[in-house]
Amino acid sequence: MLSNNSELRKEYLISILVAAVVAVPCFILIDFRTGLAVVLVTLLIMGVRLIADHVRYRRFAALSDNIDRILHGAEDVAFEEYREGEVAILSSEINKMVIRLREQASQLLADKRFLSDSIADIAHQLRTPLTSMNIIVDMFSEEELSDEKRFDLLSEMMTGLNRIEWLINTLLKMSKIDADKVFFEGKPYKLKDMLTRAANTLAVPLDINGVALKMDVPEDAEVKGDMMWTCESIGNILKNCMEHTPEGGKIEILVKDTPIFAEIVIQDTGSGIDPDDIPHVFERFYRGKVALNTSIGIGLALSKMIVERQSGTIRVANRPEPEHGAVFTVRLYKSER
């Protein structure tokens, strides 16, 4: 290692020349003993430095070997601890870098697995309505098919197409938010206007399912944010509540307005949420134990993304006994947290 280092060879050569320049005049002008002492002291200093350089470069070689092992996939590499000196600093920094790179590699692997699982989930969600529509298309070719049956099949096909359209649009919205391509406005708006707009989008399905919707919202309740995106978030929550509320049930929207935040409580009289599912309700593609067959598991995930990107919070729980149903609580803060 030392013999291959041209810089060190130059330094040793310069040291020898300097020692010679000092020693020769001592031999000539003073006496032999003084000159010999200068030579011996010079050799001693060079010897100590040679040993120190040898030890230091052995440590550098060990660091280099460890780095090479890591580059070839070794996971059990541990860097030797040094108490002081430039080798200790270098070893510490390399160790920090390796830990960081391992964390990034682990995160990339997790992201890769998540992407793979997501693609599989999306493919599964698309396959189900597409398979159904293929069957419907084959049934349309039957000559004995009555007009009434043909109308029912057409209605079923439209339902499948609407499901695919909703899935694709929701996934596109989530991908845009993930990529920070969505700009959330910070304009003030009335909560009652936003909640009314969200409820109106579900007016027909609510009527068909026989579910009543009641709101108790202060007229002057106001927050800052993006009204349209927040409306999308609340709409997904209302849709989830509607799907799990039986005919004759009801959904209530209650708003608590404070100087710091506005709290929106959405509760239904449905079947509620299994306690094991509550921590996972807002995860993408998660379908709980009481999920419908048509459930995809991304609506609530999108709601959470929208609320949190506006510095809000969202949580879910079951209504306290003896009542039944789920309770979604959304807090929208009036100033940036």
Structural domain ending residue among the three candidates 148, 178, 208: 178
Q: Is the pLDDT of residue 146 over 70?
A: yes
pLDDT given at position 263: 94
pLDDT given at position 227: 93
The total domain count for the chain is 3
Tell me which DSSP letter residue 204 carries. Answer: H
Assess whether 266 and 236 both reside in one domain: yes
Query: What CATH number corresponds to the domain at position 289?
Result: 3.30.565.10
Assess whether 151 and 269 both reside in one domain: no
| DSSP string for 86-109 | HHHHHHHHHHHHHHHHHHHHHHHH
Across the range 23-47, mean pLDDT stands at: 72
Assess whether 205 and 320 both reside in one domain: yes
Assess whether 251 and 303 both reside in one domain: yes
pLDDT digits (tens, 9 = 90+) for 280-322: 888 887 776 655 555 567 889 899 999 999 989 999 999 888 8
Q: Is the pLDDT of residue 165 over 80?
A: yes
Assess whether 191 and 171 both reside in one domain: no
Across the range 99-103, mean pLDDT stands at: 80
Across the range 136-150, mean pLDDT stands at: 79
Q: Is the pLDDT of residue 220 over 80?
A: yes
Q: For residue 77, count other CB atoms closer than 10 A to its CB.
A: 13
pTM of the model: 0.64
Kindly report the average pLDDT of the chain as a whole number. 81
Query: What CATH number corresponds to the domain at position 156?
Result: 1.10.287.130
262 near 255, Cβ under 8 Å?
yes
Assess whether 326 and 227 both reside in one domain: yes
Q: Does residue 110 lie in a domain region?
A: yes
Assess whether 62 and 108 both reside in one domain: no
Q: Is the pLDDT of residue 83 over 70?
A: no
pLDDT given at position 267: 94
Q: Does residue 92 lie in a domain region?
A: no
Confidence of residue 14 (pLDDT cuts 50, 70, 90): confident
Structural domain ending residue among the three candidates 146, 178, 210: 178
Q: Which residues of 201-230 are buried (b: 16+ CB within 10 A; e: fewer)?
A: ebeeebeeeebebeeebeeebbbbbbbebb
189 near 223, Cβ under 8 Å?
yes
Q: Is the pLDDT of residue 126 over 80?
A: no
Bridge partners, 318 (sequence order): 326
Can you tell me the distance from the alpha carbon of 34 to that of 40, in angstroms, rounded to the nearest whole number?
10
Structural domain ending residue among the three candidates 156, 178, 200: 178
Across the range 17-41, mean pLDDT stands at: 71
Q: How many helices (H) and strands (E) does the chain have?
A: 8, 7
Can you tell me the distance from the alpha carbon of 64 to that of 58, in angstroms, rounded to the nearest whole number?
10
Assess whether 172 and 202 both reside in one domain: no
Residue of 110 and 309 predicted with greater confidence: 309
Token pair 């160790």 in the structure block, residue: 95
Q: Is the pLDDT of residue 80 over 70?
A: no
- CA 48 from centre of chain: 54
Across the range 216-223, mean pLDDT stands at: 90
Assess whether 166 and 295 both reside in one domain: no
pLDDT given at position 265: 95
Confidence of residue 58 (pLDDT cuts 50, 70, 90): confident
Assess whether 226 and 324 both reside in one domain: yes
Assess whether 206 and 278 both reside in one domain: yes
Assess whether 279 and 147 both reside in one domain: no
Domain that holds residue 24: 6-78
Q: DSSP strand E in 50-202: where? A: 187-190
- What percent of the chain lies above the pLDDT cut of 90? 25
Q: Is the pLDDT of residue 268 over 90?
A: yes
> Strand pairing of 250-257 and 212-216?
parallel
Q: Does residue 83 lie in a domain region?
A: no
